[in-house]
Structure 1
């Protein structure tokens, strides 16, 4: 049995992007939520932190960009281009819109289960096809033409539902693990506050400005035009790597030649890494400790404690506990990218602990991280399982036995699919052989 393969534009009913009133979306809680690229998570879910809003009367005049259930949202430009999310039944707003940085893909539910289409676009294969249309520099993006380049293998509708059912079950396990991780991430900040108090209550009596306690180092990016700079094993950490408290490696690597011929410098173990530019700063301040010798890109800074009163473990925890105050300093740079002023960061007050408090905290952190390591291993296994299932789903392996048991009904459905799209005999589709 063979699956037909269609271009995305053959099986969708519309492709839209949104807009905001001149001057941007309003910032208070009144109006209609405006969903941007910063609200599309790595897990295929829509985030609702730090929402902006558009006036209701403006929303009512929109003839594009209004979100409904089963829509697929794809970031169209910037550093997170291609990120994809699905608008499920638990979407918390009756009315919402995307802004000018997000596409809405709406699929023809007569021939494709929208959730199946989402899983394909979310998969590594789908992401590669979406990004094949990427144009411009690091802040470039994709055009409307991407829908004619993305090809989707289309099994019969019943088999699509079966695939979605299996992937939903695996995704539910990931969500449970993610919820547990979110709770685990609160442990260290809560422990810090229990010992040292809430940073918002610190006074000038026992604090020093961050700038007097650290040395600061900037990062950079070797020229992409020189492949020799990128043919090495030296970790080059960027914001996309800042997803854990301790950094031991990175997605990208550079060579020793890049160190010798550019202004890139090593960041030594023990440095505190902080993202100072990027859309993630709309809701989160990524912080981590370098556990090995690395380099960093220009959207990050490295902080080194320069006195005996504090160490890296304490400083990392103090900054995480102070994240609300740091977030309040975030501004907007060109292209709508978020950033904060390093000079303002260096004014942040940091409590100087007693040596007894410091030792107590260090011991508690050691025990806590040993427990969290087990949680991290479970997360990696679940992510690996989900990605394996995604790969098997679109190769036909995941539902092979189920397909054999329902072959007669599925063949009839495939005939109906072809008729619905007026493509039965005109050769406008390809076929994908199933093993």
Structure 2
């Protein structure tokens, strides 16, 4: 059974872009949802909210209601199209980079449409549609109205949403468990060594320059050597969660002392010195040639300092930043120079205690790798489920058991879309008639 193909504008009764307003510095006023409030997972993220002091007219025009759909209309090309279902109580408004969508509930389920639009974004379906500027891309209302959708009967839409909600709840629980597991290593560090900032155990502290045989960073001007070769290039974006990414930029380094100076040896610690300063990881690959970029420092510890301990110390959060960031220079463009790194003082526990930590940290890393592999498999299954859901495969057997209900729903769909049904004695408004004419390219 083939689903009906419609344009979003044919089932929408409202597509309203928001308004721009500077946030209140005192964080007073009404929450004003922005691009960061729709996650790449298609969920509403209220962890960071800006508040504004709007006029009465703005409140009336731009308020969100439970059941609304939030579509990210302006962002980088990769992020335009993120979509979330809004189901919050209380007063919320939305910025001009978001579009509020309301669909006719007689023929479309808001949750189904929200998930469908976000699925289109996940699969890259919006990238060819966007209007690209220098630093931004956008989809306007007329483009949004012309997005084609395969629309099953309302009862089947609800069944699909039910299945996806159940699967997504399992993904959310897994993500919560992973977040808790990420706190194990810092907790172990605290238990064994105490807070490295306050050093409550009174370990003797030494400057890093005295605890390392080498502190250096990569060379400038290596861009011409990247994109080819059998070696790899470690950049700031390649160091996250205490690990070096497995997806590195290839590099064909020049021969000579300069390349040898920046080549990593097993046991070296890499530390980001620009951007997000202080992120660290241990280089453990003995059979791979890797080199650090100019934005990454290479630290080679002496025998009295275990690499795993040094990296865990560096990654320990002092407030919201890694502990080594306390030694950075500059405010608008912070960084860590060799002088700051060498002068940074680090508590030095007995080597036997450091080795005990290394042993337990290795077990934690093994568990983390297993979690990552399981998480990647789960995301593959989720992507497959979404594809099957929006192609009708997930509900194939359900349709067979509910054929009469489906046929009745399809008949009702057709009536509403052709304007035969009425609401309150008047024909259902067709938003697309105005939207398809709006902002059309000349």
Q: What is the aligned partner in structure 2 of residue 431 from structure 1?
A: none
| C-alpha contact 1:304 1:312 (8 A) present in aligned 2 | no
Q: Distance in 1 between matches of 2:297 and 2:352?
A: 24
- Per-residue Cα deviation, 1:11-45 (whole angstroms, up to 9, x for no partner): 22333343443xx3134443322333233323222
Matches within 5 A, 1:25-174: 25-55=23-53, 57-58=54-55, 61-62=58-59, 64-75=61-72, 76-78=74-76, 81-82=79-80, 84-89=82-87, 91=88, 94-123=90-119, 127-136=123-132, 139-144=135-140, 145-174=142-171
Greater CA drift, 350-359 or 399-408: 350-359
1:44 aligned counterpart, secondary structure = coil
1:78 Cα deviation after fit: 3.0
What is the TM-score with the length of structure 2 in the denominator? 0.72
Of the three residues 313, 317, 320, the one matched with 1:322 is: 317
Q: What is the aligned partner in structure 2 of residue 333 from structure 1?
A: none
Q: What is the aligned partner in structure 1 of residue 393 from structure 2?
A: 397
Q: Distance in 2 between matches of 1:80 and 1:285?
A: 28
1:387 Cα deviation after fit: 1.4
Matches within 5 A, 1:30-429: 30-55=28-53, 57-58=54-55, 61-62=58-59, 64-75=61-72, 76-78=74-76, 81-82=79-80, 84-89=82-87, 91=88, 94-123=90-119, 127-136=123-132, 139-144=135-140, 145-202=142-199, 206=205, 208=207, 214-217=215-218, 245-250=242-247, 268=264, 272=270, 301-308=295-302, 310=305, 312-322=307-317, 324-326=319-321, 341-343=334-336, 351-354=346-349, 355-422=351-418
| C-alpha contact 1:133 1:146 (8 A) present in aligned 2 | yes
1:184 Cα deviation after fit: 0.4
Q: Distance in 2 between matches of 1:45 and 1:358?
A: 41
2:173 aligned counterpart, secondary structure = helix
Q: Distance in 2 between matches of 1:415 and 1:114?
A: 20
Structure 1 position 12 matched with structure 2 position 12: yes
2:41 aligned counterpart, secondary structure = coil
1:81 Cα deviation after fit: 1.7
1:112 Cα deviation after fit: 1.4
- Per-residue Cα deviation, 1:164-205 (whole angstroms, up to 9, x for no partner): 111111111101101101110111111122223224425997
Does the C-alpha gap of structure 1 residues 286 and 175 become closer, same or farther in structure 2, counting only changes over 3 Å? Answer: farther
1:194 aligned counterpart, secondary structure = helix
1:288 Cα deviation after fit: 5.6
| C-alpha contact 2:273 2:296 (8 A) present in aligned 1 | no
Does the C-alpha gap of structure 1 residues 209 and 17 become closer, same or farther in structure 2, counting only changes over 3 Å? Answer: farther
Greater CA drift, 111-120 or 393-402: 111-120
Structure 1 position 3 matched with structure 2 position 3: yes
Q: Distance in 2 between matches of 1:289 and 1:305?
A: 10
Give ranges in structure 1 of 5+ residues lacking alignment: 331-337, 429-435
Greater CA drift, 359-368 or 300-309: 300-309
- Per-residue Cα deviation, 1:188-239 (whole angstroms, up to 9, x for no partner): 11112222322442599726489x975345999979xxxx986899878889
Does the C-alpha gap of structure 1 residues 201 and 107 become closer, same or farther in structure 2, counting only changes over 3 Å? Answer: farther
Give ranges in structure 2 of 5+ residues lacking alignment: 421-431, 433-442
Does the C-alpha gap of structure 1 residues 229 and 126 become closer, same or farther in structure 2, counting only changes over 3 Å? Answer: same
Q: Distance in 2 between matches of 1:390 and 1:238?
A: 34
- Per-residue Cα deviation, 1:224-280 (whole angstroms, up to 9, x for no partner): xxxx98689987888987775434433xx75657x78xxx99985755465965xxx
- Per-residue Cα deviation, 1:31-85 (whole angstroms, up to 9, x for no partner): 3223332333232222233433223x55873455433323333332137623624
- Per-residue Cα deviation, 1:385-430 (whole angstroms, up to 9, x for no partner): 2211111111111111111222222122122222222279xxx9xx
- Per-residue Cα deviation, 1:289-321 (whole angstroms, up to 9, x for no partner): 6666699999x9433224426455334322332
Does the C-alpha gap of structure 1 residues 126 and 178 become closer, same or farther in structure 2, counting only changes over 3 Å? Answer: closer
Count of aligned residue pairs for this structure pair: 397
| C-alpha contact 1:30 1:53 (8 A) present in aligned 2 | yes
Q: Distance in 2 between matches of 1:413 and 1:274?
A: 58
Greater CA drift, 61-70 or 7-16: 61-70
1:94 Cα deviation after fit: 1.1
Does the C-alpha gap of structure 1 residues 38 and 287 become closer, same or farther in structure 2, counting only changes over 3 Å? Answer: farther
